[in-house]
Structure 1
Amino acid sequence: MEKSKQDSFAGEDLDALKRRADIVGNFGWSVVSGVTAIVLREKGETALNNVWRALMTAEQSHRFVEALEKLGIRNDPPAVTAAKYHYFSNTIGGLRLQYMAESPKKVWIRYLPPWGTFPGISALAVPSSVRRTILSTWHPRNGELLGCPRLGWVATKFVAEGHQYDEGYFMEYDHDLRPEERFRVEHVAHTPEFDPATAPQLDPQVWPEARIVKGGANYASDYVTHVIEAIVAQFGIHAASQMVSSAMKLLAVQFTPALKAQTGTTGNSVAAIAETFATIVGAFKNTVHVKALDNDRVELVFDSFKPFPFLDAPAMRNAVFDFFEMSVRTLNGHVRIERRNQPDGTEHWTLTDTHAWLW
């Protein structure tokens, strides 16, 4: 029997879309967190800051200006536009934010914990400098991209430095700012209270729930692509592939049970494992064909492996596959997984029940 995991996407209802987006979000953000954690472990604090700086720059270049029309905020005052962009885009991406407009020229935003990028206790291991890097890379450049040299960003609180949330405000001054004046840190103990009734809302006709859910999945997927691009640019394909490999193996050991539960598959047979993997890979809108070769062997075939870049490099392709190879070991010690690439660019994974303990 052969079937494709892409077949159901064309007509998926909202519940199915939410389930798929949850898999994308959980797996995608785990990859981002895992890769950046390995950068910290292997290369240190300065390297991690450089990766996040490059990652934020890439995301901003990819998203910011294009999104202004989509979000319906292009014609707002610059401080309002900048704050609304971060409020809307990050909320769509699954983060929790608050928005407080003190005036058309001074607008606050807060990023409420827990961090999506470093879930659980991992947040305690992240140097405080990283959050300063993240909030000083994107936000101060918004004025430049909006054509408003008077717009600056002031950071007022950081979770990593003992505050209850990350916070700051966009301020449109009455004079042009030099590049070094666009960002500053100013600790403010008492700041405006959030009122949900006055928070901006997306137009529900333009942004129905399904579009928001899809936007959140795209958000996580894009970050996977860009974090790997950032480490390849900084360290080269060989070192980057080694770090991705380390991250993928550890992620598989830590998160395979939870991720498998999300897919809805039961049991650890060859067929169940193949279905689990097809659901994960297919969640990113890759077309995956599942084919039972016999009672003990199942094959997965696909010709795209979004959101992972640099797959023309064998080392990177092997590194990504390491997640699935390690997942098999955690699920069933009798099952072997093998991969091969065909000249037409398709990837073939064969899972075999050897009926013998392999490890």
Structure 2
Amino acid sequence: MRQISKLTRVAVGVASLALAATACGGTSTDSGSGDSTESKGSLGLAIAYDIGGKGDQSFNDAAYAGLQKAQKEFGYKTADVEPNEGETDADKEQRLSSLAKQGYNPVIGVGFVYGPAMEAVAAKYPKTTFGIVDSEVKGDNVASLVFAEQEASYLAGVAAAKATKTNTVGFVGGVDIPLIHKFEAGFEQGVTDTNSKVKVISQYLTQTAEEGGFSSPDKGKAAAEGQIEKNADVLYAAAGLSGQGVIEAAAKAKVWAIGVDSDQYKQAALASYKSYILTSALKDVGGAVYSLAKSVEDGKPLTGTQVFDLKVNGVGLSESNPEFAKVAGLTDAVAKAKEEIIDGTIKVKTE
């Protein structure tokens, strides 16, 4: 049976890692030869990005922040590799194999799309520790880094319900898949529990990731504009790079946006819209990446399912925008909801 363990403490804070995320850094471009022989070099952490790549100011950049912290603390060589448009599982498998063969350890696939590839590659490189974000993969040398996205989204729902003046808020999901359903379910529950009179308009951009749901700001912008036309004045996007379009549309219409994964109020690329980013549902991808790297460096690699939730500060809600504290009752409502989720009074739905 796969062992499921819960970290007692996330190694780094969500906010500090989000601040560290930037759009620069090394990229490994070497390709593997199919040989499963592992290098005995002293290379460190390597990450392979999800759709949208580095510079999304969200999910991937949070992972890169974790890599930066590990690189600085451990003083070793790291690598981060971009995905290709329309690539196959075989392409992902080659990428992970190449990193393991070169001697990087651990090797982390950022995103559930790496699931099939990682299951195949991990068996070929038993001396390498692998990690996957947002998916569970079996393997004695694999750590599945998963999050309670629904809990952070519940808090985002509380914020939306407190901030709306039209009693209509919007949710934009990148791709219609179970992972994003968790964001939607938590958000809707948080809204309803806070104010049952508030209506939630939900929309998914695409049915599959290949259609660009996580990588098309234009699609996000169009969806947001449609929801704004329907009177939504708070918009929450769980859509990767596409969420930038949602934030842009919200700022243009002078309504609230709620960011995701990283503290998007603090992202340099979104600075011109920051006044309209009320808060962000945080997901400490960087902390998870760093934690796995540290476990390998300490000679005690994490394996099995590692759950990052509110109890370990693996998810949360940002309060960076000074306007957050000015919304009547919002700070107290979020604090109360967080406490009740942690003690089990509130059971947050995942569907």
Instruction: Identify whether the pair has TM-score above 0.5, normalized to the shorter chain.
Output: no
What TM-score does the superposition give when structure 2 sets the normalisation length? 0.23
Larger Rg: 1
Quick check: which one's helix share is greater?
Answer: 1
